[in-house]
Amino acid sequence: MKIISPNVFPRMLLEEYKEYFEKAHSKLSPCDSIFICIFDNIKSYIFNQNKVNIFYIDIFDPGQIENFVDVFNLHKDKQFYFFSDKFNLQSDMNAQNCKHYQIGLGDQSILQLGKHANTVSDKNFNSECIGISLNRHPRPHRLTLISYLLGTSFDQYCKITAPILQTKLKEENDILNLCNYDFYNYSNIIKSGWDRAKKSDGITDTTDAFEPINMRSTNKSDDATNPLENYNLRLTPIFKNSFVEIVSETNYDYNFSCITEKTMQNQLGKNFPLYLCNYGYVKNLRDNGFDCFDDIIDHSYDKEKDPILRMVKMIQDNKMLFIDKENTKDLWVKNSHRFDDNVKCIFKLYNNVASNIKKTINAI
Torsion angle defined by CA atoms of residues 289, 290, 296 and 299, in that order, rounded to the nearest 10 degrees: -100
Note the pLDDT of residue 206: 54
pLDDT of res. 48: 95
Its pTM surpasses 0.95: no
Asked if residue 92 lies in contact with residue 99, where contact means CB atoms within 8 angstroms, the answer is no
Give dist(CA 113, CA 343) in Å, integer.
10
| Total residues belonging to the chain | 364
CA 143 vs CA 162, 203, 231, 240, 260: distances in Å: 9, 12, 22, 25, 19
Element spanning 327, H or E: helix 325-335
Query: At residue 296, what are phi and psi to the nearest 5 degrees?
Result: -115, -35
Alpha-carbon distance 91 to 104, whole Å? 17
Residues (pLDDT < 50) of the chain are: 208-225
Judging by DSSP bridges, how do beta strands 158-161 and 203-204 pair with one another? parallel
* Structure confidence at residue 67 (pLDDT): 96
C-alpha–C-alpha distance, residues 67 and 40, integer Å: 11
Q: Which string of b and e fits 236-259 if b means at least 16 CB within 10 Å?
A: bebbebbbbbbbbbbbbbbbbbbb
